[in-house]
């Protein structure tokens, strides 16, 4: 099981679509489209298809692996307006960065939710003010 983290707290996963691995996406896919993107995935081939994608879930294999943040920024710059989810080893301290980079939500394991309860994530939910530049400016 997993827990979805948003600015309003913990929630159950409400996504009912199946995910297709980035490398298995057919050129003629029709219907709801949700993709799983690995941390080393190349999303540049999606440039002309971002309007047809409903959700993208980017994998974070370790909290120290920041490639998913780069992928999120790249997708948003390409014009992706769908639901963007970080999945895996994202920790509460990284929530503000995930939101600033374009993620709408974070999917964590029940185990991580137990170790880092909802209040730790909620503390970072005001992600627009929770960054070093705002603290430096006073």
Specify the pLDDT at position 35: 97
User: Mean pLDDT of residues grouped by 10 in the chain (138 residues)?
Assistant: 93 93 87 93 92 96 92 96 97 92 96 94 73 50
Specify the pLDDT at position 128: 63
- Hey, what domains does the chain have and what are their CATH numbers? 2-22+31-137 (3.20.20.70)
* Tokens read off for 88: 């895996």
Q: How far apart are CA 20 and CA 17, in angstroms?
A: 10
Q: What is the 3-state secondary structure (H, E, C) of 92-124?
A: HHHHHHHHHCCCCEEEEEHHHHHHCCHHHHHCC
pTM confidence score: 0.89
């Amino acid at each position: 099981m997993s827990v979805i983290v948003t600015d309003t707290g913990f929630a159950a996963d409400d996504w009912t679509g199946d995910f297709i691995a980035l490398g298995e996406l057919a050129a003629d896919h029709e219907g709801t489209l949700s993709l799983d993107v690995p941390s080393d995935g190349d999303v540049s081939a999606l440039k002309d298809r971002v309007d047809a994608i409903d959700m993208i879930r980017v994998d974070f294999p370790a909290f120290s692996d920041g490639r998913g943040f780069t992928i999120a920024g790249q997708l948003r710059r390409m014009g992706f307006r769908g639901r963007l989810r970080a999945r895996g080893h994202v920790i509460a301290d990284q929530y503000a960065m995930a939101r600033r980079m374009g993620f709408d939500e974070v999917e964590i394991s029940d185990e991580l939710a137990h170790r880092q309860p909802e209040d730790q994530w909620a503390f970072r939910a005001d992600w627009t003010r929770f960054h070093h530049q705002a603290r430096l400016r006073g």
